[in-house]
């Protein structure tokens, strides 16, 4: 048996190792569910706008000392939304539909995903506090959530 020349062996092993796996959320969808960039950008912008409306409602609920239980589902939905945020910024949606996303979203995908994770964790705490109608915990989680919004915007969103 002939030994494989070192160069050929190296080439063969490189060929196996070469495809660097992209994070799951960054992989291209099958063509059958491909969405136009403008549509995806509009969808993420409206989800942000709706979540901001929900957030203002929570702020008023705190101020008015409302029963918090009715906010539990909305907070759980915010956490779910936070978890899918990174998947709504695939390559190819850097421009279009007047996006305010900074290029850092794509150059620092790990940081962006982490910022979304901080948001998701805070929103989960909001949901748990609402479910328990724990006003102090809800107010604290609200502050943490607001911080998560602000921190991500500072790094990843253009100013209006
Ligand atoms: C992980 C990062 C991140 C977090 C966390 C985050 N945002 Fe944003 N937000 C963005 C980016 C990026 C955009 C720009 C989206 C675009 O234009 O494509 C945006 C856009 C928005 C917009 C404008 C939507 C529109 O109509 O165009 C609002 C309002 C908003 N965010 C509110 C919030 C609120 C409120 C929170 C917290 C409860 C929050 N965001 C948390 C990154 C984040």
Residue 105 has pLDDT above 70, yes or no: yes
Give the mean pLDDT of the chain.
89
Residue 46 has pLDDT above 70, yes or no: yes
Question: CA 73, CA 30: separation in Å to the nearest integer?
Answer: 32
Q: Find out whether the beta carbon of 148 lies less than 6 Å from any atom of ligand 1.
A: yes
State the pLDDT confidence band at 12, using cuts at 50, 70 and 90.
Answer: very low
Smallest Cα–Cα separation from 98: which of 151, 152, 44, 51? 44
Mean predicted confidence (pLDDT) in 88-109:
97
Distance (angstroms) between ligand 1 centre and the Cα of 10 equals: 46
Pocket test for ligand 1, best of 153, 154, 155, 160 (most atoms within 8 A of CB): 153
pLDDT confidence of residue 86:
97
Q: Find out whether the beta carbon of 153 lies less than 6 Å from any atom of ligand 1.
A: yes
């Amino acid at each position: 048996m002939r030994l494989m020349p070192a160069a050929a062996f190296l080439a063969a092993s490189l060929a196996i190792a070469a495809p660097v796996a992209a994070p799951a959320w960054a992989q291209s969808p099958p063509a059958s569910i491909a969405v136009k960039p403008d549509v995806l950008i509009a969808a993420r912008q409206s989800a942000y706008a709706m979540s901001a409306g929900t957030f203002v409602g929570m702020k008023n609920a705190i101020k008015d000392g409302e029963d918090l239980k009715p906010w539990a589902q909305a907070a759980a939905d915010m956490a779910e939304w936070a978890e899918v945020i990174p998947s709504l910024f695939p390559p190819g949606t850097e421009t279009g539909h007047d996006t305010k996303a900074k290029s850092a979203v794509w150059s620092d995908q790990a940081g962006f995903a982490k910022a979304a994770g901080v948001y998701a964790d805070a929103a989960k705490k909001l949901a748990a506090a609402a479910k328990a109608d724990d006003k102090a915990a809800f107010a604290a989680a609200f502050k943490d959530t607001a911080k998560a919004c602000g921190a991500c915007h500072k790094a990843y969103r253009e100013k209006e």
